[in-house]
Amino acid sequence: MSAHASSSVTPVFDRSKVTVIFVLGGPGAGKGTQCANLVQDFGFCHLSAGDLLRAEQNREGSQYGEMIRTYIREGQIVPMEVTIKLLENAMRAALDEKRTGAGWEDGRGRFLIDGFPRKMDQAVKFDEEVCTSSLVLFFTTTEEEMLKRLLKRGETSGREDDNEESIKKRFRVYNEQTMPVIEHFNKQHKVASVDATATIEEVHQKAKSVIEKLFAGEISQNVTV
């Protein structure tokens, strides 16, 4: 196989039927919170890459459990093959359910893929081989705000990475590995940036307006709301 073979691969899901929106933003920016709101508004299937990895980590008999645990505790990005396969399987399962409602007729589907892609290799491979994304919904706020939110979440989340040491590592990985992904999609004019510093409901209204515009065919360049 030549080094360029992947560029001729057809994605598993056709973007004219299956809408994929990547939801990005630093740890604790509010991605999961806002995805839950957008599920209510638009009937998306919400797939959190982190949740899928944590479920696989805890699945009895998984050959990846210990590896995933180590990566997550260190704030590192799990090798992409594992995460992409989990996402593809979950997308297939949602489409096989034959859901009803807007966006799910005739083999169609709409997905919020939360916390992914966090690294360039994942971004390129998913777009080429699984489904070409339609939009990146990018939640922005300060590290100070994210740290505050994560330490509070850590009081009840039970997550092994919601402690100050892991959080600092996640910030570093985010800046070094995920910001280039945002840059990559900026060049494709696919990024909608939402200031996530306001209240949950204010951020929700802004995110909702972005998705309404997307479905109305009104987003053809990077936008900031």
Ligand X SMILES: Nc1ncnc2c1ncn2[C@@H]1O[C@H](COP(=O)(O)OP(=O)(O)O)[C@@H](O)[C@H]1O
Ligand Y SMILES: O=c1ccn([C@@H]2O[C@H](COP(=O)(O)OP(=O)(O)O)[C@@H](O)[C@H]2O)c(=O)[nH]1
Report, in angstroms and rounded to the nearest whole number, the Rg of the chain calculated over CA atoms.
Answer: 17
Alpha helices in 97-199 (DSSP H): 120-125, 143-157, 164-173, 179-187
149 binds ligand X (CB under 6 A): yes
Site residues, ligand Y (CB under 6 A): 27-28, 31, 48-50, 53, 71-72, 75-78, 83, 115-116, 118, 161, 170
- Binds ligand X by CB under 6 A, chosen from 8, 10, 199, 221: 199
- Binds ligand X by CB under 6 A, chosen from 52, 113, 203, 214: 203
Decide whether 157 or 188 has the Cβ nearer to ligand Y.
Answer: 157
SS3 call for 117: coil
What the block records as the tokens of 125 is: 């491979």
- CA dist., res. 152 & res. 197, Å (int): 16
| Strands 18-25 vs 109-114: parallel, antiparallel or unpaired | parallel
Decide whether 21 or 53 has the Cβ nearer to ligand Y.
Answer: 53
116 is in an annotated binding site: yes
DSSP state of 156: H
Footprint of ligand X on 20-59 (CB under 6 A):
25, 27-33
Smallest distance from ligand X to CB 66, Å: 23
For residues 149 and 30, the answer to whether their CB atoms sit within 8 Å is yes
- CA dist., res. 225 & res. 223, Å (int): 7
Binding-site annotation: residue ranges for a ribonucleoside 5'-phosphate: 54, 76-78, 115-118, 122, 159, 170
Judged by the rule CB under 6 A, the positions of this chain that interact with ligand X are 25, 27-33, 149, 152-153, 196, 199-200, 203
Binding-site annotation: residue ranges for ATP: 28-33, 153, 198
